Amino acid sequence: GAGVSQSPSNKVTEKGKDVELRCDPISGHTALYWYRQSLGQGLEFLIYFQGNSAPDKSGLPSDRFSAERTGGSVSTLTIQRTQQEDSAVYLCASSLARGTGFGEQFFGPGTRLTVL
Amino acid sequence: GEDVEQSLFLSVREGDSSVINCTYTDSSSTYLYWYKQEPGAGLQLLTYIFSNMDMKQDQRLTVLLNKKDKHLSLRIADTQTGDSAIYFCAGHNAGNNRKLIWGLGTSLAVNP
């Protein structure tokens, strides 16, 4: 079945370069989330989309991080001028949920970003 | 602020019961979740409990919720080697953003 997919699965980049991470949510899921999982830090919320708009960007760590979503589907997380502390696994999740009802978040396999 | 805490490691023998504990600070969490992360695999929802429930049982899994103490636990009966994974407790508030606040995860090791 078609789950959440992310690409690339691994990305190694040099400090100072820009990277783009892609998420393809489950078809029909209106909500999309980006999280970051760092060693010893657990999961950290980055940004939430409902449709194409992002009502909550509170988790983005700095202005080097940005994300967009188009057509209510694919989302791209962009990190500019990468730093070594950006190294982590970036996880995307999607959900059918609206409002305050129960909504399981379905996770993609993640993109492992390594900044040298 | 919102915070979810878990013990980091648990080791049990195959066939024993495992109990993974979680405490949270945000009492407005409508639902509380347990996610499982196996090596090399994505996060998967294991079970959840609605905040007005005390207990939920699902086959080998039992979730207990003590709202007064803001304590959540996951009991796995007859633990198997295939249960070895990292277990995350997560909650969210009832706001529209629905973002999940996560614990650091408990690494469960099941020894044969």
DSSP state of A52: T
Q: What residues in A contact B34, CB-CB < 8 Å?
A: none
Q: In chain A, which ranges are E strands?
A: 5-7, 10-13, 19-24, 31-38, 42-50, 53-56, 65-69, 75-79, 88-95, 106-107, 111-115
Interval A19-23 mean pLDDT: 98
Pairwise pLDDT comparison (B34 vs A96), residue with the higher score: B34
Nearest CB to A48; choose among B50, B97, B101: B97
Pairwise pLDDT comparison (B65 vs B28), residue with the higher score: B65
3-state SS class at A104: coil
- Say if residue B52's pLDDT is above 90: no
Confidence of residue A101 (pLDDT cuts 50, 70, 90): low
**What was the pLDDT predicted at A102?**
65
C-beta of residue B103 within 8 angstroms of C-beta of residue B70: no
Contact B88 A95 (CB under 8 A): no
Identify from A9, A105, A106, A111 which residue to disrupt to test chain B contact, counting B C-beta atoms within 10 A and taking the largest count: A105
**What was the pLDDT predicted at A89?**
94
Interval B60-78 mean pLDDT: 94
Helix H, strand E, coil C: the string for A26-46 is CCCCCEEEEEEEECCCEEEEE
Nearest CB to A45; choose among B96, B100, B103: B100
Confidence of residue A2 (pLDDT cuts 50, 70, 90): confident
Buried b (16+ CB within 10 A) or exposed e, B29-55: bbbbbbbbbeeeebbeebbbbeeeeee
CA distance A67 to A77: 4
3-state SS class at A50: strand
Percentage with pLDDT > 90 across chain A: 66
Tally of residues, chain B: 112
Contact of B30 with chain A, judged by CB distance below 8 Å, is answered with yes
Nearest CB to B98; choose among A44, A97, A109: A97
Closest-CA residue to A18 (of A89, A77, A58, A70): A77
Contact A91 B94 (CB under 8 A): no
C-beta of residue B4 within 8 angstroms of C-beta of residue B70: no
Q: What residues in A contact B97, CB-CB < 8 Å?
A: 48, 55-56
Interval B40-64 mean pLDDT: 90
Q: What residues in A contact B88, CB-CB < 8 Å?
A: 42-43
Q: What residues in A contact B98, CB-CB < 8 Å?
A: 31, 48, 95, 97, 100, 103
Residue-wise pLDDT for B89-106, tens only, equals 998 765 655 678 888 899
Percentage with pLDDT > 90 across chain B: 55
Interval A11-36 mean pLDDT: 95
Interval A107-111 mean pLDDT: 93
CA distance B56 to A35: 28
Q: What mean pLDDT, rounded, does chain B reach? A: 88
Residue-wise pLDDT for A25-64, tens only, equals 999 898 999 999 987 677 888 998 988 988 888 889 999 9
Q: What mean pLDDT, rounded, does chain A reach? A: 90
Contact of B101 with chain A, judged by CB distance below 8 Å, is answered with yes
**What was the pLDDT predicted at A6?**
96
